[in-house]
Amino acid sequence: MSQTLAIIKPDATGNGKAGKILALLEEKGFTVKALRMTRLSEAQAGEFYAVHAERPFYGELVEFMTSGPCIPMVLEADDAVPALRDAIGATDPAEAADGTVRKLYAESKGRNAIHASDSDENAAREIAFFFSESDRITTAG
């Protein structure tokens, strides 16, 4: 078992799809190990997405991620990072496979419902960004 970070993004909390997305992730075999709702400041969103600072969509991305509440969560599964990337689908919902979170719930390439870590290294960094050790369920069950 390993862990990864997902964030239900502000488009999905705003249009009432957060519960459906969480249910879908549980159906797909992920176990929630930590979860909270927060509204990112501009500084927090900028730091979280610092790797994209030079990309043309960075300003739009920070504006979107601060536009409403989001729900970061730690998810556990076998090979959690690639498993969650498969479950969420391509960045652009028009290219996402059937049954993926983004195919079902994303509005556009920018407003795409969910974030998922793209490597074990980034998962560790992103989990620590949102959760302290004591926030995370580490005991069996």
Q: Which residues are identified as catalytic?
A: 115
Q: Which of these ranges, 21-29, 56-64, 68-76, 121-129, lies near ligand GDP under the rule CB under 6 A?
A: 56-64
Minimum CB separation of residue 116 from ligand GDP in Å reads: 7
- Which residues, including other chains, have CB under 8 Å from residue 119's CB and lie 6 or more apart? 81
Please say whether the beta carbons of 127 and 73 come within 8 A: no
Q: Which of these ranges, 37-45, 54-62, 75-83, 124-132, lies near ligand GDP under the rule CB under 6 A?
A: 54-62
Stated as kind and residue range, the H or E segment containing 7 is strand 2-8
d(CA 31, CA 112) in angstroms, rounded, equals 22
Nearest residue by C-beta to ligand GDP?
Answer: 110
CA angle 118, 89, 11 (to 5 degrees): 90
Asked whether position 61 contacts ligand GDP by CB under 6 A, the answer is: yes
Minimum CB separation of residue 137 from ligand GDP in Å reads: 25
- Site residues for ligand GDP per CB under 6 A: 52, 57, 60-61, 91, 109-110, 112, 115, 118
